[in-house]
Each structure stands twice: as structure tokens, then as C-alpha cells.
Amino acid sequence: MDYAFYLKEFNTAIEVIPKEEFERCSLEVAIDIVLESAALKVYKPEWSGDLKSPLDATGRIFFSIWISDQSIKEGKVYYNIHALKVRTLKNYSISSRKFAQDFRNEFVKYQKDWPNVSVEYGPLTLMQGWVDLKIENLQENVQKLVRNFFKVSSIIDRVLAQYKKDKI
């Protein structure tokens, strides 16, 4: 797999999205090789158990787009939202199953905007889907998926707020 090519495609796609769009949602982006895949992750440090190292925290929530050797064979670009060990998030009293169900109950309003998406997963994968892997529109598809995530990232904030330990 040509990691450099796909990482460059992800970077070029993200450069087109104004930083203000990320800032408005308080989101950050990371592009790297993860688990033998070229991966793009969108996240908030606050959605992790470690603000200094949010991508490596035991508990964390993030949106991911990835391409691997397997996805290339399938002709697909995969995407998902992971909620890993949310019970370890500081300042929250929350179970993974309850968080996943609450998220999915709200996500259903946006589900039509996400191609080939399913929420029929365990609590660690809130949703997952795919788009066709076509080089000629890869950047456009990545931009569309990231902008779709901007629209649903507030669901994560709202659901987390319900479980905040010190809410007034």
C-alpha cells in the first residue's frame, strides 16, 4: 500500500476546509498511519481521558476515515465514530452502552446524510460506513465526510453533558 499517497490525499483534502470550520466546533485533525491504514481522525481533546495526549488516551471519542490494503481490495474508504472506554473519561459518570444508545438515538436524524452507514455495532463503534474508493473523487469524499461530522459532533457534546459529574 502506498501510505504516502493516501496520507497526501487526506492532507490535501483537509487543507481545503477552512480552519475556522474546525475551530467553530473546537475540533482538531490528525493524519497518520494507524493499524496498517492511512487514517484521518477528527476529535476534541475534551473527548479524551488525557488532554495532553488525546489520541493515545485509554478513553477517547473520535471520528476516523481510513484506507488499508483490505479496503483497497474492496474498493472502499471506511469511516466511523469510535467511543473507546468512555467510562474512563474524567469528570463523567457514564457507561459505554448507555452513551452509544443515547448517541444513536440522536444520530438517526442525520443517518440519511451518511452513505452505507450502520449503527448495528457494539458500544465502541457508534456508527460505521463506507464510500467508494475512487481516486478522482477521494478528496471530495473525505471533505464531505468531515463536514458531515461537523454536523453531528454536537451530539457527542450533548450526550456527554448528560453524564457530567459536576453539572449544575
Residue-wise pLDDT tens digits, 88-109? 898 889 999 999 999 999 999 9
Of 47, 89, 66, residue with least CA distance to 7: 66
- Segments making up each domain of the chain, as ranges: 3-162
pLDDT confidence of residue 68: 98
pLDDT confidence of residue 167: 57
Q: How far apart are CA 163 and CA 168, in angstroms?
A: 11
